[in-house]
């Protein structure tokens, strides 16, 4: 084994079951496409196991992570004491003003402006390590780690006295500057960079568009790993993290929606039929709480392939906050075409 995956804080990540998933796969080496890579926990595990990894997600924040940790094999970030004031400008402040008293206080948005400008003069992979750290800092400063929190709630939970009286936790980290969080985690992100002697790649594309691109380029895979944002789960990824993409003006306009129960199966069948054109094996993560049910999904898959293996494992899925622990059965379906 090589380096350790750093703290990414990604809702619905597969970190705890990643080794179990790898153990159940019918292949031990080759080229893998992680089509919905999210926080890159599976991509990183694939990389550690020596696979050639292509990591993709619609979110720019996840693309930045994939660039920093999956594609990058040696560059590390160095930050000399940044003189933040030097990077501040009014034009970018005006373009980020939508965040003021929505996600952060005014003085914090001003810091963000400087950090955005600073990132834009970084070259190559150190820029993506910096962006990954900034993403983590932005999330860490928001209570419950998601940008869908209402401003009144953010203000309430960021009141350290109130938080202590009510929850016996000050949560002082919400009130630290972005740069504090960046510096705090920089070493663990740098140490997570390693070379697995493969040409790994990162993409920010809609899953269907990306597969079509591979078809055109006659590029094939030994395995496609699929972990979409299933209906009836914590699946509002554009809401949770999309604010980061908006800051960097990198939002995608056309995204196939897997979050709605009425259209899920149609889109899923479309996706599987596309995957079939670029890979003989698809591994699909799902859990017993999603709607449509595992049975419904399975019966659609059986129309495409009769060769399916299903593995299951109890998994405590922790949404931030101790009252939200739920016991799910984690499932892995391996489909061979």
Ligand X SMILES: C[S@@+](CC[C@H](N)C(=O)[O-])C[C@H]1O[C@@H](n2cnc3c(N)ncnc32)[C@H](O)[C@@H]1O
For ligand X, the binding residues (CB under 6 A) are: 10, 12-14, 36-39, 41-42, 57-59, 62, 206-207, 227-229, 237, 255-256, 258
- Closest contact distance (angstroms) between CB of 12 and ligand X is 4
- Decide: 17 and 330 in contact? Cβ < 8 Å: yes
- Decide: 223 and 25 in contact? Cβ < 8 Å: yes
- Nearer to ligand X among residue 128 and residue 237 (C-beta): 237
Residue of this chain nearest to ligand X (CB atom): 38
- Closest contact distance (angstroms) between CB of 99 and ligand X is 20
| Residue partners of 260: CB distance under 8 A and separation at least 6 | 231
- Closest contact distance (angstroms) between CB of 162 and ligand X is 32
- Closest contact distance (angstroms) between CB of 222 and ligand X is 18
- Nearer to ligand X among residue 175 and residue 236 (C-beta): 236
- Nearer to ligand X among residue 126 and residue 227 (C-beta): 227
- Closest contact distance (angstroms) between CB of 100 and ligand X is 26
- Nearer to ligand X among residue 156 and residue 276 (C-beta): 276
- Closest contact distance (angstroms) between CB of 163 and ligand X is 28
- Closest contact distance (angstroms) between CB of 226 and ligand X is 9
- Nearer to ligand X among residue 13 and residue 288 (C-beta): 13
- Nearer to ligand X among residue 13 and residue 298 (C-beta): 13
């Amino acid at each position: 084994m090589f380096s350790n995956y750093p703290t990414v804080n990604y809702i619905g990540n597969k970190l705890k079951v990643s080794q179990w998933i790898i153990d159940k796969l019918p292949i031990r080496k080759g080229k893998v496409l992680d089509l919905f890579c999210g926080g890159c926990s599976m991509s990183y595990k694939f990389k550690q196991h020596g696979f050639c990894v292509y990591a993709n997600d619609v979110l720019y924040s996840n693309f930045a992570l994939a660039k920093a940790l999956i594609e990058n094999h040696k560059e590390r970030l160095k930050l000399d004491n940044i003189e933040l004031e030097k990077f501040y400008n009014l034009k970018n402040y005006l373009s980020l003003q939508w965040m003021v008293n929505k996600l952060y206080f005014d003085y914090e948005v001003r810091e963000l402006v400087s950090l955005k400008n600073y990132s834009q003069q970084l070259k190559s992979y150190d820029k993506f390590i910096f962006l990954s750290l900034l993403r983590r800092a932005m999330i860490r400063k928001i209570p419950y780690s998601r940008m869908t929190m209402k401003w009144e709630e953010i203000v309430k939970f960021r009141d350290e006295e109130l938080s202590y009286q009510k929850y016996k936790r000050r949560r002082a980290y919400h009130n630290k500057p972005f740069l504090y969080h960046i510096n705090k985690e920089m070493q663990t992100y740098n140490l997570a960079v390693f070379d697995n002697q493969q040409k790994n790649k990162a993409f920010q594309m809609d899953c269907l568009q990306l597969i079509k691109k591979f078809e055109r380029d006659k590029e094939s895979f030994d395995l496609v790993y699929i972990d979409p944002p299933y209906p009836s789960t914590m699946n509002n990824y554009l809401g949770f993290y999309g604010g980061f993409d908006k800051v960097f003006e990198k939002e995608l306009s056309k995204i196939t929606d897997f979050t709605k129960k009425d259209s899920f199966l149609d889109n899923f069948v479309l996706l599987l039929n596309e995957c079939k054109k670029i890979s003989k094996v698809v591994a699909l993560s799902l859990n017993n709480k999603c709607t449509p049910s595992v049975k419904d999904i399975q019966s659609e898959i059986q129309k495409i392939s009769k060769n399916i293996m299903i593995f299951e494992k109890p998994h405590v899925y922790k949404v931030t906050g101790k009252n939200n622990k739920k016991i799910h059965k984690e499932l892995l379906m391996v489909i061979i075409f």
